[in-house]
Chains A and B, each alone.
Chain A
Amino acid sequence: MAMKGDCDWIRDRLAAFRSGWLDAGESQRVQTHLESCAACSKEAERDADLVLALGAAMADERVAPAWSPEARPMRRWVLSPVFALPGIAAVALAATLLWSRPSGEAPNAPPTSVEAAEPDLASAHVMAGVADGSSDPTRAIVLAAYRRKP
């Protein structure tokens, strides 16, 4: 029978255990405990379910962007939920605001207008702040995601 103190110690480390961050000794201790403690084992299952649910949510959001250049191989970047889905709104924006397009570009190239390009640059600016301390990382990622929403 597992002790209460053990359970607290184990539950503090479930996410780390799942992600493979624990050292070998700690990982073995968690594994052994889960095999003998029904409550913690159930907690670990709930944690795994959450991860699966997140994966499913991301899969649902994987939609090819409307302006994805067909002449290029699909970039993984555009499949990221943060940066995906400029969609129809981006195409409309590009059509109305495009003020110049260099010759030789694919006809379905991404928007090149000032207005359409600037959100990406704003995100590049704020993401760089994660490293140099000028932005709270959570804010930076939320802002980048928000700006990419159609």
Chain B
Amino acid sequence: MRRIPASILGLLLCSGAWPSDDTERLLAQALWGPSTPYSGTQSSLVATGAGDVRSIVRVEGDGRGGVRRTFLDGPAKGLVTLEADGHIYSKSAASWTEIGHMPSADRATAVRSILQSYVVRISTPSTFLGRRAIAIEAKPRHSFNPSRRWLVDAATGLALKDEMIAPNGSRRSLTQFTDVRFLGSVAAFEPPDARASAAYGPGSFEPLASREAMIRATGIQPVLPKHVPQGYRVSAYGIVHAANGRIMPAVRYTDGLSAFTVFERGGNRRRRGYGWGRPEREPEWRSDVQRSAVVVERSGRSFVLIGDLAESELRRVADSIPS
């Protein structure tokens, strides 16, 4: 990747003639972290129905995608998490548990997808924490999508600020460094040698290789919505284990910055068609500032749709699930 001298950089920024490959590079660094190891403290505000929740987090990155977070204050106080090798682990006392088993992201495709669905603007460098920083703003081309703003360190690409905004303009979260130091070389973070897997719950989300693998794991044919919002595509098929032993199929769609997931409740070999015999319930909406969520029934099958996009668009998706 070529480097641009700072003086030319300023001219390009002011003129709006930013080369697209640098936009893609900055965007990728903002999303997936820099190649320079770092250590710092973040302050985070997350909107809830009861107001903003504040957290303080010590963050250390190995420059290869590995990130260790120590939550010093807030709802997750005391938690230590480690992102390494596409997984997230949490440390409780002396033991590690995998709490996130994530679909691998095709980053080049994701960035291209973002550029198709969002207008990405890069601003003139400013100063933040004594460092030159560049603002990136991703505004949706479709009003049902959320928007996002970053302030990235010009030298390394680390996102010094990350702000997520709901489609209606409400702020979902603001995370920013209050101090940061960049390190020389550090050893890559390795997944913990001894760790348990989340047997059920959010951490048990398990991406599978294909739709067919999901059918084999759950024993049911997925019913997918006929309406997929513009710019979205299936990014992962997977399963979630419920605590009562049910295996729930989960299909994830994303446009690169926003996503929605279709879970089917009752994915249990013993009770295929969970809920048969009862009249279909009206869709049950449970949206808040952080996400849109709805529960719908079709022919006795129950689906939970959760998404980052506006409720009106998720409603169109839910309505398109065939009976």
Contact: B93 with A59, CB < 8 Å? yes
B231 to chain A minimum Cβ distance, whole angstroms, is 12
- Contact (Cβ within 8 A) B278 A83: no
B93 touching A77, Cβ below 8 Å: no
**How many pairs of residues, A versus B, come closer than 8 Å at their CB atoms?**
259
Q: Kindly list chain B residues whose C-beta atoms are within 8 Å of the C-beta of A115.
A: 286
Instruction: Tell me which of B102, B175, B248, B252 contacts A139 (CB under 8 A).
Output: B175
Nearest A residue to B302, CB-CB: A114
B-contact 0/1 string along A122-139, CB 8 Å cutoff? 111111111111111111
Is A117 part of the binding interface, using a Cβ–Cβ cutoff of 8 Å?
Answer: yes
Partner of A77, one of B32, B200, B307: B200
Judged by a CB distance under 8 angstroms, whether A22 is at the interface is yes
Mask, B70-102, CB within 8 Å of A = 1, is 111011111111010010101111010101101
Interface size on A (CB < 8 Å)?
Answer: 67
Nearest-CB residue, chain A, relative to B89: A80
Per-position binary interface string of chain A over residues 17-58, scored 1 when its CB falls under 8 Å from any chain B CB and 0 otherwise = 001111100100000000000000000000000000011011
Q: Which residues of B contact A (CB under 8 A)?
A: 31-32, 37, 39, 42, 44, 46, 48, 53, 55, 57-60, 62, 67-72, 74-81, 83, 86, 88, 90-93, 95, 97, 99-100, 102-105, 107, 110, 162, 164, 172-173, 175, 181, 183-187, 189, 196, 198-205, 235-236, 240, 242-246, 248, 250, 252, 254, 256-261, 263, 265, 268, 270-271, 274-275, 278, 284, 286, 290-291, 293, 295, 302, 304, 306-308
9 A-B Cβ contacts within 8 A? A79-B97, A127-B102, A128-B261, A134-B254, A134-B256, A134-B259, A137-B67, A142-B74, A145-B71
A residues with a Cβ closer than 8 A to B are 12-13, 15-16, 19-23, 26, 54-55, 57-59, 61-62, 67, 69, 75-83, 100, 102, 104-106, 109-110, 112, 114-115, 117-118, 120-139, 141-146, 149
